[in-house]
Amino acid sequence: HLHLVHGAGVGRLPYRSLVAALPPHWRVSVSEDDGSCGADLAAMADRYARTLQAGTGLPDVLGGWSMGGLLAHAVAVRLRQAGHRPPPLLLLDAPPPDHGHDYAVTDFGSFAEAVLRGAGAHALCPDVLRTATPERAGTEMLTALLRAAGHDARPDSLAARWELHRRHHAAMAGYRDAEPVDSPALAVAADLPDVLVRRWDTWCTGGLSAERLDTDHYGMLRDPHARRLAALAAGLLPA
Q: Are the C-beta atoms of residues 175 and 43 closer than 8 Å to each other?
A: no
3-state secondary structure labels for all residues of 107-173: CHHHHHHHHHHHCCCHHHCCHHHHCCCCHHHHHHHHHHHHHHCCCCCCHHHHHHHHHHHHHHHHHHH
Can you give the pLDDT at residue 120? 80
Q: pLDDT, tens digit, for every residue of 83-123? A: 999 999 999 999 999 986 666 656 888 888 889 888 887 66
State the pLDDT at residue 126. 63
What band does 137 get if pLDDT is binned at 50, 70 and 90?
A: confident
Give the mean pLDDT of the chain: 91
Instruction: Work out the average pLDDT over 126-148.
Output: 74
pLDDT band at 125 (very low <50, low <70, confident <90, very high): low
Residues 80, 73: Cα–Cα separation, whole Å: 11
Long-range contacts of 77-80 (CB under 8 A, 24+ apart): 77/45, 77/178, 77/179, 77/180, 77/181, 78/45, 78/46, 78/49, 79/49, 79/52, 79/53, 80/181, 80/182, 80/183
Please tell me which of 68-77, 115-124, 143-152 the model is most confident about, judged by mean pLDDT.
68-77
pLDDT tens readout for residues 17-64:
999 999 999 999 999 999 999 999 999 999 999 999 998 889 999 999
* Percent over 90 (pLDDT), the chain: 71
